[in-house]
A and B are shown apart, each in its own frame.
Chain A
Amino acid sequence: MATAVGTLSHTEDRSRIWEWMTTVDHKKIAALYGVTGFIFFLIGGIEATLVRTQLAVPNGNVIDADLFNQLFTTHALTMIFLAIMPMGASFFNYLIPLQIGARDVAFPRLNALGYWTYLTGAVMLTSSFFLGGAPNGGWFAYAPLTSLEYAAGKNLDFYTVSLLILGVSSLMGSLNFAVTIINMRAPGMTMMRLPVYMWMTLVVSFLLILSLPIITVALVQLYFDRNFGTNFFTPDTGGDPILWQHIFWLFGHPEVYVLILPSMGIVSEVLPVMSRKPLFGYSAIVFAGAAIGVLGFAVWSHHMFTTGLGTVPQIVFSASTMAIGIPTGIKIFNWLGTMYGGNIRFTTATYFSVAFIFLFTIGGISGVMHASPAVDGQHQDSYFVVAHIHYVLFGGAIMGIFSGIFYWFPKMTGRFLNETSGKWTFWLLFVGMNLTFFPMHFLGLAGMPRRIYTYDEGLGWETWNLVATIGVYVIVVGVSVFIVNFFRTMRQPQTAGDNPWDAATLEWATSSPPPEHNFDVVPEVHDRDPLWYNRDHGIAPAAKPEHLHIHLPPPSYMPLIVAMGVALLGIGGLSHVAVAVLGMAVVVYGIWGWALEPTE
């Protein structure tokens, strides 16, 4: 049956939806990741708006306590796992083959499976609102609040199953990206001539490859605790809630570097091009990125300074956390060095990248502040930490992603996003972001704890909470302006040439948008900034051979079948084991069909 089905997938049926459902082209998958990630960014934004509206005034009654707990939990989960990581994956997917001069990623069908599994996990997590309650134990779901005794509903089962599926999807993606970058670089592109964005992608891939299995074990243990009566985290029967915290944060901290390094990579690509000079201190930034990757595994217990760690562990983890501030500092100085002496063209992408440096530094500073347990005793679980998180994630990751969108939009679609509307988006986001998140430093100092659904008046928290809520509405306006800009631009004709920004990396050596096989001839790389080197040394791009016989993998919907099997497995995990068994059968059938499918 599979072979019959297999042949069907070869006929080039051109129905648009089927083309997208069975695509294995890294550019289409990037578009799918990008659009889905942005939609979930909007959903996360709505959750944030509801949370802030409830906290606008003391003793607000916009939403009740349980819905508030669900919303702040899913806001964090959606923004981290369903928005920032997939939008990062969208850039990875699109740019890895183009920046290293390859025709596609190493395993195209695995790439498609990664997306469809992500979509399954995302739909499952978000649909939990309507199917018995979304996760409401906080995004790091500390035990024993997540045990059956204190979280009876299906909320936390949705948490474990969805995150397991999302984890599998990210693992497949990162393995694929790591192999592609290591093994499919253009001739002449040694590791030290790799674009910095590729280095950050490689570090992110390894952070994910090495940290996801750890959270998989933690989630399976929590699932078993809740459904099979094991006692890993239940204190009265010998379990230890601190075990969950250790295993979670062993994954948690590399995870937050997974969220920020891609944006650091984007800024390291945008700033040199817009300043019209090479990146300052390439090897310093690359080694700093690698150092952050390695040290990322040595700092996890700074999330646990207040859980009664002994004196020695506090000193050790405080030292390693302060140490990780140093490579971050080096990166910031090197970005400033890149701007120094430049002839900076202030497009919207540049605005976002410069804002990234400034806002991420604030987040970095407040982060290094509570690396010291003396300070962390006051900051932990207060709004100061919420301010730090959002300066690093909104001021850092989101600003970097918007910079990337405006910078690579001409390459992806052949059209320029409108610059005036882009400037409006930037200033609305910049002002809105600072209005919302800087007051949270003051709220943290005034002793406001995290995750409280309401507070009394007379504690000095009223004004700043109101200001923060106003700020959120300014951000909402900013994002809406961007959406309008996006749809208006998509109706414009394709006017962007191959290299509108006169950039240096290989993706600008092919047409915009690039053909399905990316490069007619894979370019030879002689230097860190290949196109600038070729321009300065008068090396003409290789002539287009008269007939191109480039073999591209045929579309296939085995990834879709396997993803459906994974969905059934997940649903089975939440409902009845028979569904899970059916899911396993579909997965095995999908993989079997996959193996038999001819790729020539």
Chain B
Amino acid sequence: MAAAAHDAGHQTSLGVDNRKLLMWIFLASECLFFGTLISTYLIFKGQSLVGPFPGDILDIPLTSTSTFVLLMSSVTMVLAVYGAQHGRLGLMRGMLVGTILLGTTFLGFQVYEFRHFGHVGLNLGTNQFGATFFLMTGFHGVHVGVGVLYLTSLLLGSMRRSGLGKERALWVDTAGLYWHFVDVVWIVIFTIVYLIPE
């Protein structure tokens, strides 16, 4: 957003705002983080020696709905950014609430799935599938949780008298980048864990 960098003090070389550039480079770093987690999962895919195997306990319909929920949260997020950019604060707040709710629902599905796996005897130490699955989806879940906190603080910030200030569009847009990235990572994880068989 070139606008944010117009005051003389922050004249930038490329005309982009530092905070957005920081988010994009951070997302590049996160690609490597989730890339390593996914590689470990792929290396151990089908190598579990004991205990419940993925084929037996993965519930595709349930996770497909939670994937759909996260996908829709991306749509509400982009509409919230649209609202912030075009000054339609009602739309922005509404969509922020929507994204937060969808995000929490997704987390709810995940907590349920983790507990269900616990009941059928799959936990961290059971086998290779348990270890890699819980670590990968767990870290993704943590990122979704942090995203929900991030969006909630934006929502609360927009409730204040001064709202999110003149850089509102930038704050919401940067939060949107983070949220979309977390959704995109889930798209990859969903395909590799649930859709591709052993």
Give A residues with C-beta under 8 Å from B.
Answer: 106-107, 171, 175-176, 178-180, 182-185, 187, 189, 209-214, 216-218, 220-221, 224, 228-232, 237-240, 243, 247, 250, 550-551, 588, 592, 595
Contact = CB atoms under 8 A, between A and B. Distances in A.
B18 A230 contact: no
14 contacts: A107-B18, A179-B25, A209-B28, A209-B29, A210-B28, A213-B33, A217-B33, A228-B125, A232-B40, A238-B44, A238-B128, A240-B43, A588-B149, A595-B157
A217 B30 contact: no
B153 interface: yes
Interface stretch (B6-14, B55-63, B106-114, B182-190): B6-14
Interface string B60-90: 0000000000000000000000000000000
Nearest to B29: A209
Interface in B15-69: 16, 18, 21-22, 25-26, 28-30, 32-33, 36-37, 40, 43-44, 47-49
Interface residues of B, number: 35
A231 B44 CA distance: 11
A217 B18 contact: no
A588 B32 CA distance: 25
Nearest to A105: B18
A231 B131 contact: yes
B9 A106 contact: no
Contacts of A237: 49
A341 B128 CA distance: 63
Given A209-B29, A232-B131, A185 B18 contact: no
A551 B25 contact: no
Nearest to B160: A596
B49 A238 contact: yes
Contacts of B130: 230
A216 to B, nearest CB: 6
B33 A230 contact: no
A55 to B, nearest CB: 37
A106 B128 contact: no
A182 B28 CA distance: 15
A211 B18 contact: no
B125 to A, nearest CB: 3
Contacts of B33: 213-214, 216-217
A180 B40 CA distance: 34
A588 B48 CA distance: 38
Contacts of B29: 171, 175, 209-210, 212-213
B124 interface: yes
Contact of B21 (A182, A187, A231, A247): A182
Interface-central residue, B32, B47, B135, by most chain A CB under 10 Å: B32
Contacts of A182: 13-14, 21
A247 B33 CA distance: 11
B128 A217 contact: no
B104 interface: no
A182 B22 CA distance: 11
Interface string B115-133: 0000000001101101110
Nearest to A218: B36
Contacts of B153: 592, 595
Nearest 10 interchain pairs by C-beta: A229-B125, A213-B33, A230-B131, A217-B36, A213-B32, A106-B18, A185-B13, A183-B12, A238-B49, A209-B29
Contacts of B37: 217
A224 B124 contact: yes
B169 to A, nearest CB: 17
A551 B9 contact: yes
B30 A106 contact: no
Contacts of A178: 25
B59 to A, nearest CB: 23
Nearest to A216: B33
Contacts of A224: 124, 131, 135
A231 B48 CA distance: 10
A57 B18 CA distance: 57
Contacts of B28: 209-210
Contacts of A175: 22, 25-26, 29
Nearest to A183: B12
A551 B8 CA distance: 11
